């Protein structure tokens, strides 16, 4: 009697244990797929941006609207740093991440489409 009840309890425990393992596995799977999708998108955005040949004038206009408040009207720096010769210190990929990532507060993350991002890059290259 006691053996059969302990086997039932064991079976119940195994079931619960499997449920937990399955649940943890499912959560991990979801986390990984979200990470992977984000990663892919980000790369595609960068690839698309780098394939374009932007216009420095358009980029200048964009800069005057979005960036001068912190980087100054001539990009010589204000709250944010001087951006002259920035393209010698950071590569294009790093600049794209800086502008779209929001990784260094107080600088916000900007949602810029690849065409405009490419224009901005061209403008920043023209500052050298």
Interface positions, 44-103, toward ligand HEC (CB under 6 A): 66-67, 69-71, 79-81, 83, 86, 90, 95, 98-99
Tell me how many helices (H) and strands (E) the chain has.
6, 0
Q: Which two tokens stand for residue 47?
A: 């690839």
124 near 95, Cβ under 8 Å? yes
Which two tokens mark 51? 């394939």
38 is an interface residue for ligand HEC by CB under 6 A: no
Q: Rounded to an integer, what distance in angstroms lies between the CA atom of residue 43 and that of residue 25?
A: 27
Nearer to ligand HEC (CB atom), residue 37 or residue 69:
69
Tell the smallest beta-carbon distance from residue 35 to ligand HEC (Å): 25
Q: Which residues bind ligand HEC (CB under 6 A)?
A: 66-67, 69-71, 79-81, 83, 86, 90, 95, 98-99, 104, 106-108, 110, 120
């Amino acid at each position: 009697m006691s053996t059969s009840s302990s086997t039932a309890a064991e079976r119940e425990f195994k079931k619960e244990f499997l449920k937990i393992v399955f649940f943890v596995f499912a959560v991990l799977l979801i986390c990984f797929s979200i990470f992977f999708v984000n990663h892919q998108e980000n790369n595609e955005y960068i690839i698309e941006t780098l394939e374009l040949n932007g216009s420095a004038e358009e980029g200048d206009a964009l800069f005057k609207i979005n960036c001068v408040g912190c980087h100054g009207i001539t990009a010589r720096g204000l709250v944010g740093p001087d951006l002259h010769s920035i393209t010698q210190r950071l590569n294009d990929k790093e600049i794209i991440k800086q502008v779209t990532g929001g990784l260094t507060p107080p600088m916000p993350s900007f949602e810029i489409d690849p065409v405009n991002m490419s224009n901005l890059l061209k403008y920043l290259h023209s500052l050298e």
